[in-house]
Structure 1
Amino acid sequence: MHIRMDWKSITFDWNRARAFLVTAEEGSLAAAARSMGMTQPTLGRQVAALESEIGFDLFTRRGRGLELTPNGIKLLEHVRLMGDAANQFSLSASGKSDVIEGDVSITASELLATFMLPRMIKTLREVEPGIDIEIHSTNEVRDLNRREADIAIRSVRPTQPELIAKKLCSVRGHLYAAKSYSRQLGHPPTIDELNKASFIDTENPGRLMELLNSRGLNLNKQNFPVISNSHVVQWELVKQGVVICATVEEIGDNEPLVERVIISDLPLITMDLWLVTHNELRTSRRIRRVFDFLVSEFSHN
């Protein structure tokens, strides 16, 4: 597709071009306005003025976000080169090199956000101090298409074609109990003793009871006297010796107060972790930097 314009009739305004560039990279006027430190109406007027000047639309609305038109995609290639040149000029003038600044939001489950991400974010902040991180700790799936987060760590590979997914690793899960509770049950507890034990799940009865019964136990609702939708709360109750729960090795094996409850030679749970972002956001240097950094950190975890 070719874009034909009478460039002689266009008075170039870098502020308008930059407004278009940042909006394209952020995916919405609200996010772009925050990134540029201006109000959304002001940014919207700059983008609208550029569209009026060149004579075609750059974006179409999609839910809460914006999607580039075919003409917008074509023009973005040129404006991005201009932006890179402007950045290099600014960096050279200030004596800096290759600095990336701005906000990136990451969504992950409570356990990952609590026990695995902090160490990685500490390293990221050391190597990229200009990137500010917002962590959404939730067991619910955030909608990346609606820009509810920039990057997600998920246990299921997404099927939407507009999302990019990279497999991080495979994790295995086991039952864990406080060492004091294991001694109380019998060390190690037998199947009969486990049938009398207390467990915890997000609902009563839940999937954990079904899974354990498929492994030879005979549990019922009475084995789940406490429930919680928070995995962090569940884990604290395990550490206190109140209940038994299932979690991944990377968390359970690193807690000195607990130990595995072995009911077979196989792990109770095996799943893959995926790093996901929207394909439009992958063109942002800032988001691409965080995405690639997390891939590297998980590969060395």
Structure 2
Amino acid sequence: MDWDKIRVFYNVAEAGSFTKAGDELGLSQSAISRQISALERHLKAPLFHRHARGLILTEQGDILYRAARDMRMRIETTQARLFETSEKPSGTLKVNTTVTLGSFWLAQRISEFTDLYPDVHIELILTNEELDLSMREADVAIRMRRPAQPDLIQRRLFTIHYHTYASPDYIKKFGEPKTISDIDEHRLVSFGGDEPSHILAVHWLATAGRDINNPRPCHLLVNNILALKNAIKTGTGIGALPDYAVGQDPDLVQVLRDVEMPSLDSYLVYAEEMKSVARVQAFRDFLVTKAQRWSF
């Protein structure tokens, strides 16, 4: 079928008359009528019921109208994406990552990116749940494990190391654990709650060196790393924290220095269809370049 004729038909169906469609398309009423008649002859089916009050789609016309509407939407979407890829980075970029990484680390570095690309507006979506990128719940994500979906582009960024910490006051009161077995004599605080298993796995002090079915009791379980950090700082107990959340905090002392702790690898991920979008390319290049010297 001739797309020009389909385009004319779509405008007529939207306008409800040859005259209105002609005004929108810059064509005469007779030219519009000839196009529709030629299309009806080609399809061997009437597309409109013609009466004094205007035009009404026939059953065949309604089928063609729905198809034409879908085609138009696809073309408009494609045109928008082509425009995005050919222009400088601009528009809104929805970035998803975990609450902890987003709060402690990414949010502190966004300003450097926005200084480089002032026309890009970042929307940070912080949740420990993995959003559906193929459904555009987010444009890009930084995840704490390798994605399993085959339709997602992924790029490893950096390794996040965890260590065990306590406060100076806690150590003064209860002593410092030197080995895994020493943990039995200490109070534990841990990240917990209804969280993804791969994130909970790095907070392993309760089961380290023990049967997984016989964990050590925790004095505090909390589903927020900032709250966990504050609890450790105020002497509630010892617990594992990601290094980027600790920094040079004088109220936290690393313990169990000789014990190898779990770590998480981070990945930048986005849908295949977003790979040529300028703002996604800019954000990807920014993170990949910085990841060479970011290690926690």
TM range, normalised to the smaller chain? 0.5 to 0.7
Q: Report how far residue 275 of structure 1 moved.
A: 0.7
Give the SS at the match of 2:145.
coil
Amino acid at match of 1:232: L
Which residue of structure 2 lines up, in the alignment, with residue 180 of structure 1?
169
User: For residues 211 and 230 of structure 2, what CA distance do their matches in structure 1 show?
Assistant: 24
Which residue of structure 1 lines up, in the alignment, with residue 114 of structure 2?
125
Give the SS at the match of 1:116.
helix
Give the SS at the match of 1:113.
helix
Q: Report how far residue 212 of structure 1 moved.
A: 4.8
Is the 8 Å Cα contact of residues 191 and 263 (structure 1) preserved in structure 2?
A: no
Matched, 1:198 2:192: no
Is the 8 Å Cα contact of residues 6 and 68 (structure 2) preserved in structure 1?
A: no
Normalization by structure 2: what TM-score? 0.65
Matched, 1:106 2:119: no
Normalization by structure 1: what TM-score? 0.64
Q: Report how far residue 231 of structure 1 moved.
A: 1.9
User: For residues 203 and 271 of structure 1, what CA distance do their matches in structure 2 show?
Assistant: 19
Q: Aligned residue pairs: how many?
A: 234
Matched, 1:149 2:142: no
Give the SS at the match of 2:263.
strand
Amino acid at match of 1:179: P
User: For residues 248 and 150 of structure 1, what CA distance do their matches in structure 2 show?
Assistant: 26
Amino acid at match of 1:292: D
User: For residues 3 and 216 of structure 2, what CA distance do their matches in structure 1 show?
Assistant: 77
User: For residues 148 and 230 of structure 1, what CA distance do their matches in structure 2 show?
Assistant: 23
Q: Report how far residue 224 of structure 1 moved.
A: 0.8
Bigger mean CA offset, 181-190 vs 211-220: 211-220
Amino acid at match of 1:282: K
User: For residues 241 and 185 of structure 2, what CA distance do their matches in structure 1 show?
Assistant: 20
Q: Deviations over 1:224-263 (max 9, x none)?
A: 1211112221122112221222122333353332122216
- Superposition pairs of residues 66-85 of structure 1, within 5 angstroms: 76=78
Q: Which residue of 210, 215, 229 corresponds with 1:235?
A: 229
User: For residues 208 and 79 of structure 1, what CA distance do their matches in structure 2 show?
Assistant: 43
User: For residues 288 and 230 of structure 2, what CA distance do their matches in structure 1 show?
Assistant: 29
Is the 8 Å Cα contact of residues 171 and 248 (structure 1) preserved in structure 2?
A: yes
Unaligned 5+ segments in structure 2 are: 9-63, 195-199
Q: Report how far residue 116 of structure 1 moved.
A: 1.0
Which residue of structure 1 lines up, in the alignment, with residue 241 of structure 2?
247
Q: Report how far residue 223 of structure 1 moved.
A: 3.2
Which residue of structure 2 lines up, in the alignment, with residue 256 of structure 1?
250
Q: Which residue of 57, 60, 69 corresponds with 2:70?
A: 57
Amino acid at match of 2:188: F
Alignment identity in percent?
24
User: For residues 187 and 125 of structure 1, what CA distance do their matches in structure 2 show?
Assistant: 44
Give the SS at the match of 2:100.
helix
- Superposition pairs of residues 36-55 of structure 1, within 5 angstroms: 55=68
Q: Report how far residue 272 of structure 1 moved.
A: 1.0
Change (3 A) 1:185 1:58: farther
Is the 8 Å Cα contact of residues 180 and 208 (structure 2) preserved in structure 1?
A: no
Give the SS at the match of 1:283.
coil
Unaligned 5+ segments in structure 1 are: 12-50, 61-67, 88-97
Matched, 1:158 2:171: no
Q: Report how far residue 208 of structure 1 moved.
A: 6.6
